[in-house]
Amino acid sequence: MRFFSYFTPSAPWAFVYMVQQFEYNPTKFLKWAVNFSDLRKAQNRGKLHITPRIKLMLVVAYLAYFASIIMIVSQALWHNAFFAIGGIIFVPFFCISVVYVVTVVLQKTIINPVQNREMLAAIQKLASSKALRIAVLGSYGKTTMKELLVTVISEARKIIATPGNKNILISQVRWVNNSTLGNEDVYVFEYGEAKPGDIAKLAHFSKPEIAIITGIAPAHMDAYPDLDSIVKDFASISSVVDASETYFNNQKLLKDNIKGSAYDIDGLGKWKVSNVSVSITGTDFTLSNGNDRLELRTGLLGMHQIGPITAVVVIAKKLGLSNQQIITGVSKTTPFEHRMHPRQLGGAWIIDDTYNGNVEGMRAGLELLKALSAKRKIYVTPGLVDQGTESENIHKQLGDLIAQAKPDKVVLMQNSVTSHIQAGLSAGNYDGEVTIENNPLEYYTNLEHFLAAGDLVMLQNDWPDSYR
């Protein structure tokens, strides 16, 4: 049925939808298309966002689809029926090729020149601002860090950050152009990396004075050959930001390649962490530097939040915030939707971490699951997408991490990495219950039927239906 979905009239629509999903990256689209994913599932959880570019692409895609069909039918009627039958196979390939070519041509002839003009206007607008600029980059934890900075620093300073997931260059350019920036004290830019060179381009555009690198993990491995290439991309921030103003998560790979101050669960520089307590409603800890002591309480879950909060506290102090302002700001930090976000369902606790898309984030979630007490613990995941050639190893590692967290039950969403996670579970001698769900949407929407009071459920990552 998956194969036949490429021949239905909804196929051109699905092709254009996926181009948009891949942010008009023709190479990613082509890789996806030749993988023969099930087009029936491609739009299960999303809708095509209609723009002038999309309208044009839809028209061209359907013209290609119907033109190829008319050509084949005419062959069948007037010439060689066998040739026509063979030609049917050609329909989706022709359609995919046309969508690919249109994407490339539109990008080069119309989109790029327009975007260049937009970029110039944004650079001029930024140049007129006196605000301090903070860049947040990393494979994971960027949104949390960005929100932490805004919540804490806004206790004393006017601060604004790039909204939502606007972390690619053109979306930041448009944000600058369309925002009424002017009297803020601080701007926070979230940098998204999808391919080598992205960080340098973003840094060149926003020219930050402070940079925070939240962590490194395998992500976008379809574009980066290895972790070294990702860290090299992150390290390019040093061409703009001084080492004294660079903070990074204390991971070996970052420590070996980035010049700056490392933060982790033990603190940052002379700032030391103590009295840590984690619960389903938040995290408490003490941060001290000599006689300077802050008793902090955050609504964020997990010990892995302590390092980033420490970095924010240090930056906030540099910006002149008082201890009370910092304590108040940290107390206002609450979980963000789909990121270690706890909620109750019929007496059960669910930790929604479905926006988590890397193995380090998964590790943090599993450590939290292990630390919390519950009558029954359930761990639900489809695994991780875009892990490239390392996918098998990463998912075996994930299986092993799950085994170490010892949930009572593991629910895996059936896909191409499921067997690797299972192998990791076996290697970790996991002896709990494992169930495989082949309809994630059905499982999530009926979650209440699977849960009871006293259950603790960790939902990590979501797997787009367009992936296999």
Partner 1 sequence: MKTVAVIFGGRSTEHDVSIVTALASIIKPLELTKQYKVEAIYIAKNGAWYWDEKLKDINLFSSGQIQDFLHKTQPTSVQFDGGMTLVKASGIAGRKTSRKIDVVFPAMHGTYGEDGSLMGLLRMAGVPFVGCDMDASVLAMDKVLAKQVAESSNIPVAKYECIYRDAFARKPADILRIVEKTLTYPLFVKPAHLGSSIGITRVTNVQELQNAIEVACHYDSKVIVEEEVANLIEVTLPILGNDQLKPALLEKPLTKPEDFFDFESKYMHGGKGGKKSGGKGTKGSQGYSELPAQLDAELYKKAEQTGLAVYRELGCNGIARIDMLIDNKTNIVYFNEVNPLPGGLYEHNWRAAGVSSVDLVQTLVRLAEERFQQQQQENTVFSTNYLQQF
Residue ranges in contact with partner 1 by CB under 8 A: 346-347, 375-376, 437, 442-443, 446, 448-455
Q: Give the nearest distance from C-beta 304 to partner 1 in angstroms.
A: 29
Q: Give the nearest distance from C-beta 348 to partner 1 in angstroms.
A: 8
Q: Give the nearest distance from C-beta 189 to partner 1 in angstroms.
A: 44
Q: Give the nearest distance from C-beta 282 to partner 1 in angstroms.
A: 23
Token digits for 88? 């049917």
Based on CB atoms, which residue is closest to partner 1, 362 or 380? 380
Cα 373 to chain centroid, rounded: 28
Based on CB atoms, which residue is closest to partner 1, 336 or 444? 444
Based on CB atoms, which residue is closest to partner 1, 324 or 445? 445
Residue type, 330: V
Based on CB atoms, which residue is closest to partner 1, 320 or 346? 346
Q: Give the nearest distance from C-beta 400 to partner 1 in angstroms.
A: 27
Q: What is the rounded distance in angstroms from the CA atom of residue 433 to the CA atom of residue 450?
A: 14
Based on CB atoms, which residue is closest to partner 1, 336 or 443? 443
Q: Give the nearest distance from C-beta 438 to partner 1 in angstroms.
A: 8
Based on CB atoms, which residue is closest to partner 1, 295 or 433? 433
Q: Give the nearest distance from C-beta 435 to partner 1 in angstroms.
A: 8
Q: What sign does the dihedral 206-210-215-216 (CA atoms) show?
A: positive
* Cβ atoms 427, 396 nearer than 8 A: yes
Based on CB atoms, which residue is closest to partner 1, 23 or 448? 448
Q: Give the nearest distance from C-beta 374 to partner 1 in angstroms.
A: 11
Based on CB atoms, which residue is closest to partner 1, 306 or 348? 348
Q: Give the nearest distance from C-beta 375 to partner 1 in angstroms.
A: 6
Q: Give the nearest distance from C-beta 415 to partner 1 in angstroms.
A: 17
Q: What is the rounded distance in angstroms from the CA atom of residue 219 to the CA atom of residue 365?
A: 17
